[in-house]
Structure 1
Amino acid sequence: MKVLPVGIDGPLIIEPQVFGDERGFFMESWNAARFAEAGLDLHFVQDNHSRSRKGVLRGLHFQNPRPQGKLVRVTSGRAWDVAVDIRRGSPTFGRWAGVELSAANKRMFWVPEGFAHGFLSLEDDTDFLYKCTAPYDASAEHSLAWNDPAVAIEWPLEGIEPVISAKDQAGLPLDRIEAFA
């Protein structure tokens, strides 16, 4: 597998080795030993699966306390996936990294603890899977505003009217969130 940096310290694009032929393909989406060899010695405790229609924007979510690291991928459709550095002491605090994940490109995105995470579904029936390093805890969940001008995420919204939950519409700007020390 290839592990690619994204311009800020922490998140990584992971391109698995894919073996394909006329029957289809095979790939390892998770192998603890191979990830550890690549410097990602991770322990996952929860898997999640969401399905979204085109235009659904989820996030930007994070837990503080009890943060979650997330290994995310798309198995059907396409999504624009984003991680925002919300570690106050980080030299890249407030900066974001984005990557298109799709069933076709089979890429994965590692979003470590200390980052807000969200995605925009670019196709109907986009299935988004993620492995988490900590269980979901509603009492620790927060949302960074998806459209905060201080972060200035370049969402690929051309021709898309985003569908956003009430909870995510109430996301806070970067200067008001429960950021990490």
Structure 2
Amino acid sequence: MRDWSYYAAAHRYDVHGSLDAERRCAALMRELRSVRDESELRRRADAGDRCAFIALLEILVDADRLDELRAMQQAGDDRAGTTLMEALVEQGREDELREEVAAGHDVMWLVDYLSERGRLDDALVALQRWARAYPDRDRLAHARRLDLLLNHGRVAEVRRAAASGDQAAVRRMRDVTGGQPAEKPDSAG
């Protein structure tokens, strides 16, 4: 299971590096969550209390109230948007994930989701569509494509691109081979 940026215990109550402050915060949030005092959590979160904000996100995700996360994100809270995307990935809600990407969320959520499930070709198609829709992001899409191919063991494809003069592929092959010249495309598969 993946850690959440705003939801995981590892990031839950990091309060200025003070262990005592973290413990007090954790105890208060457990109390507020146990009585489900969302109005107090919202009041504290709106006042900038990170612990309260995270506890509120936990309640929303646990109760599958993702529309509220969408509303928070649309009101300008990127943390809620990140949590929404993480929840969709974690819950395997691919159709909703695709809808969110179509509505403007970063395509890499979908690309990573597909790639992590062994659906590399689908991930590459999603990335290619995104690159066509945002031609100014073509270099980013190409770099991500090369990384995906390498991560999935499709080194020969990157090697062929390098051999054909693709400088990004040449650099990635140099990284992979530890600075050694890349082999010719017909010498390895």
- For the aligned pair, the TM-score class normalised by the smaller chain equals under 0.3
Give me the TM-score of the superposition, normalised by structure 2: 0.23
Greater RCO (CA < 8 Å, at least 6 residues apart)? 1
Higher strand share: 1
Give me the TM-score of the superposition, normalised by structure 1: 0.23
